[in-house]
Structure 1
């Protein structure tokens, strides 16, 4: 055979290699190239994955959720969120660190509680991804370093909803029902004291421990030891609803009156949030909340203000209204008690002598200012026609009259 007829040269090693190369080129040109492995992970692909995951969660589509996850960590989050009334859930990817089989994603979670949040709350999160069957899936999610945890990071969440708002907790049903009953009385009491334009609904978070409370606040547990509840929120319009975060360990040491007092006090902070500004002194904001709570369940002054009663008996009447530093936790307990009692009795004096409406007007006038310096003076002159020095003198006389031996 000749070469033209396909002689021996056509069967040589060089011709066979060329044939193979030619076949590979044809396959590539026709779109039939052998798979080169999964495409590299980038922000766009992660955003698409997390978008599918968020949709599955909001629609409670278990099959779609499982398609985005891998392992028990992903399934745990699904179960923990089952009772949470979510109205929104979305991620904004801020960073991706990917290896060949695992990845860590930094993201901002925006979630909204249905019927409670006028706008999404935000949380910084870390998500662990794993490549499974050549597809990336979420293995676990947690708070980013230094960020506050979310309640469902701590366990399965129970929910209670009423005309007063929403309670979410990781403890027993009985515990959550108890706080719901406290809330039913707290909201009307706060509304009677403040009135005005506020949602008349609260969100109460009940973690299982002091450590859980601190984690929700992004703090160390010792920071809130002995503090029964804390309210977080922003006065800006279009922001998420305030959260009243309970410390169950401190609550366990309260009697029935104390339990109600604390939740009413915190609910008043929710009511007054939009009128509270950077110039509002703590004696006024904390004192008003105490005034409202005491007003709902009055008791003798000596029993309600034991620290100041003892100080007046020693002829140690405070020379001035308590400053903001006096309200710091972690210091002397008697000093803190005197600060709260002093702020409450200043607000009580305002309500007794000038009327509750003037007390509320002073609160709003102080909160409307941006600069703290001179805010109290301006608020007193605007609403009462007197200055801070004159009011302070009246407050000191009020303490002697109401708490002194002849009271």
Structure 2
């Protein structure tokens, strides 16, 4: 109690001293007196940025950044340069809402409905809510301080400088050296077209700076794709059939792949693009989606079973034969024995192709995409039931070389 009384006394003394001083004390005013979100100003600066990107005017874009924020100016300039290198069209920005309030520096975050298209590869524009960082200035204007955030997707080309390699077969958009990815993408296209000749759309590969930025680009939970070399995904918030489908690389994992492994991974993902696996209805079992992609990717690769089925062989020796074909949960990116699940699915597709031919396997996949009954389509394509095939598949697993 004595301590509290002393504190109060000191406070009163300080106030009295300020009152008795000859000069007048004025408390510093906050940087943004209103400390309020300004939707109208936000919409205006976003509209100006949209026009700058469409016009390829990097100087106009950089001028929208806070005067004391060189990093923001560099980012906005880079986005204009990225768009020009890629050839982005149908770029639009529409203010939707604020996320939280204004901080003491006048900064706040807006959700912005964003559309864009990579012409020559994307038939339609992608659409997604993207976070834009804004700053309310003391003169009542609003500036643009950053792009991308944790609660929405952060497209690679909008969040930092990229390097672009564009060809008739493939488009690579990479935060770092795109050379290796461009070579792999170009090589993957004919691998897929040998089995799926009707696919003519080409391949788009996006490479962020890190695995963490891959999660941001996909709007995924942190670490969800930490063990994955690449993932094929619909681009944007709407994953309905027909939306653009791109391959996104995890550079942290991909860098560890040797030449042959990298080629197989890129070809595998290209199959997913060609079959539109990322947007197909949930009627195709994952073992077929992943097994078929590996079947096409490994079709002309001369490797023994001791390599292509090594992980599943070890799993069988350790845990015994599985009772059924791999279920969807076995392909969760964070599950253990993920590689074994992929190999088991690949072996199933190899056996089906050996039984009835490659075209029968491809037609079976297409039939399930169209919504056909799995058991009925299985009998029609391969002349046996799923249960009967499962027994043959289990026998093949038991015969794998040690």
1:185-215 superposed Cα distances (whole Å, 9 cap, x missing partner):
111111212333x343111111222222222
Instruction: Indicate how the Cα distance of structure 1 residues 362 and 238 shifts in structure 2: closer, same or farther if over 3 A, else same.
Output: closer
* Higher mean displacement: 176-185 or 209-218: 209-218
* Larger-Rg structure: 1
SS in 2 for 1:163: coil
| 1:25 aligned partner | none
Instruction: Indicate how the Cα distance of structure 1 residues 61 and 153 shifts in structure 2: closer, same or farther if over 3 A, else same.
Output: closer
* Cα RMSD (Å): 2.9
| 1:376 aligned partner | 374
Which of 292, 296, 300 aligns to 2:300? It is 296
- Distance between the aligned counterparts of 1:146 and 1:337, measured in 2? 30
- Distance between the aligned counterparts of 1:52 and 1:100, measured in 2? 25
Instruction: Indicate how the Cα distance of structure 1 residues 107 and 154 shifts in structure 2: closer, same or farther if over 3 A, else same.
Output: closer
Which of 245, 263, 279 aligns to 2:248? It is 245
Q: Equivalent residues in 2 for 1:152-163 (5 A)?
A: 152=157, 154-163=159-168
Say yes or no: does 1:164 pair with 2:169: yes
- Distance between the aligned counterparts of 1:111 and 1:322, measured in 2? 37
| 1:345 aligned partner | 347
1:321-363 superposed Cα distances (whole Å, 9 cap, x missing partner):
1111111232323xx2321111101111111110111101111
SS in 1 for 2:396: helix
Which of 92, 95, 99 aligns to 1:93? It is 95
Instruction: Indicate how the Cα distance of structure 1 residues 155 and 42 shifts in structure 2: closer, same or farther if over 3 A, else same.
Output: closer
- Distance between the aligned counterparts of 2:62 and 2:221, measured in 1? 35
The offset of 1:312, in angstroms, is 5.4
| 1:219 aligned partner | 220
The offset of 1:79, in angstroms, is 2.7
The offset of 1:306, in angstroms, is 0.7
**TM-score when normalising by structure 1:** 0.78
| 2:391 aligned partner | 393
The offset of 1:282, in angstroms, is 0.7
**Structure 2 segments unaligned to the other structure (5+ residues):** 1-35
| 2:208 aligned partner | 207
Does the 8 A contact of 1:213 with 1:246 survive in 2? Answer: yes
Does the 8 A contact of 1:210 with 1:225 survive in 2? Answer: yes
| 2:50 aligned partner | 54
Q: Equivalent residues in 2 for 1:80-159 (5 A)?
A: 80-81=78-79, 82-84=81-83, 85=86, 86-95=88-97, 102=106, 104=108, 105-121=110-126, 122-131=128-137, 136-152=141-157, 154-159=159-164
- Distance between the aligned counterparts of 2:363 and 2:43, measured in 1? 49
| 2:4 aligned partner | none
The offset of 1:125, in angstroms, is 1.7
Does the 8 A contact of 2:232 with 2:245 survive in 1? Answer: yes
- Distance between the aligned counterparts of 2:353 and 2:239, measured in 1? 24
The offset of 1:259, in angstroms, is 0.8
The offset of 1:237, in angstroms, is 4.3
The offset of 1:389, in angstroms, is 1.0
How many residue pairs get matched?
354
SS in 2 for 1:193: coil
**Structure 1 segments unaligned to the other structure (5+ residues):** 1-39
1:156-212 superposed Cα distances (whole Å, 9 cap, x missing partner):
11111112221111113xxx111100111111111212333x343111111222222
- Distance between the aligned counterparts of 1:250 and 1:74, measured in 2? 29
